[in-house]
Amino acid sequence: MAALCGRLLSRRGWLPSQQIVRHGSKAVTRHRKPMHIHRQKLLAVTQYIAPKPAIPERCIKPRKRVVQEPTSLEKLLQRDVEMTFRENKMITVFQNNSITSDELRLLRHRLMKHDIRMKFFPNQVLRSYLADTKYKNLLPLFIGHNIMIVSKEPKAKELLQTVRSTTQISLLGACIEDALFSRQGVVNYSRLPGMQIIRGEVVGGLTLMTSQTCQLLQTGPARLAVLLERYLKQQNEAATGPKEGENLEQKEMQGSQAS
């Protein structure tokens, strides 16, 4: 039967569309062996760890800050700050240590008697103004709650005497006549004498110098005159000395003859 079918198929030229081929497949029995525990520890210990940079990346690459335009209120406050620094010769910065409103009102009233005023500005506005001015060294003082006490004339002595009884505020620094002072510098400045006393001392020193200069100029001619007088006197004595000796001898001889 099989031979007959093979003949028929070979004659007609027909071939089957599918052929079944058997392959010898083998089961996978070899698997990767797990790493030994000692080898795992050795690899973990000897694993390369890259050194960390000495300077953090956040310090090398600063963050990009978005520049915001100041509001109308901030512009108004900046204008007020600029006017305050321009019109006042003494600008002091105090730290506010939770002073009460009543004590603050009383202190303001005492300062007004000496024509000294208190100013309150946000630190953000002050720092933005001082960054591009000659007062930029005052920036470290404006941290936290601060009080600015200003006056048109340098009155450090009156200021310290008024603030002495108020312990809730402490002096940090000051700018007096475009010069920066620390707390001890302000204390030393307040101990200086007044302008009238200083002017009197300056005038006294100048007059003393002029008098000494006049004495020095007169000493030379006076000494020269004294020396010339002595020289003339010596010349006169040298010229009249022999004649006086002869007269004395003649008088002595006359006296001996008479006796």
Give the contacts of 88 (CB within 8 A, at least 6 positions apart): 150, 151, 152
Contact between 116 and 151 under an 8 Å Cβ cutoff? The reply is yes
Tell me: the pLDDT tens digits for 171-207?
Answer: 999 999 888 999 999 999 888 877 778 788 888 888 8
Confidence band of 227 (pLDDT split at 50, 70, 90): confident
Residue 10 has pLDDT above 80, yes or no: no
Q: Output the pLDDT for position 107.
A: 92
- Give me the helix-helix angle, 183-190 and 156-163, nearest 10°: 110
Which residues are paired to 171 by β-bridges? 94
Q: Output the pLDDT for position 7.
A: 54
Give the contacts of 33 (CB within 8 A, at least 6 positions apart): none
Q: Output the pLDDT for position 112.
A: 92
Strands (E), the chain: 90-96, 116-119, 146-151, 169-176, 179-181
Tell me: the pLDDT tens digits for 100-115?
Answer: 889 999 999 999 999 9
Other Cβ atoms closer than 10 A to 195: 9
pTM of the model: 0.53
> Which residue pairs from 139-147 have beta carbons closer than 8 angstroms and sit at least 24 positions apart in sequence?
141/93, 141/172, 141/173, 142/93, 144/95, 144/96, 145/95, 145/96, 146/93, 146/94, 146/95, 146/96, 146/172, 147/93, 147/94, 147/95, 147/96, 147/118, 147/119, 147/120
Q: Output the pLDDT for position 54.
A: 78
- pLDDT: which is higher, 139 or 66: 139
CATH of 72-190, one of 3.60.20.40, 1.10.760.10, 3.30.70.1730, 1.10.3260.10: 3.30.70.1730
Tell me: the pLDDT tens digits for 25-46?
Answer: 556 667 778 889 999 999 999 9
Tell me: the pLDDT tens digits for 125-175?
Answer: 898 888 888 888 888 888 888 999 999 999 899 999 999 888 889 999 999
Q: How far is CA 192 from CA 148, 159, 164, 199, 203, in A?
A: 23, 14, 18, 13, 17
**DSSP for residue 154:** -
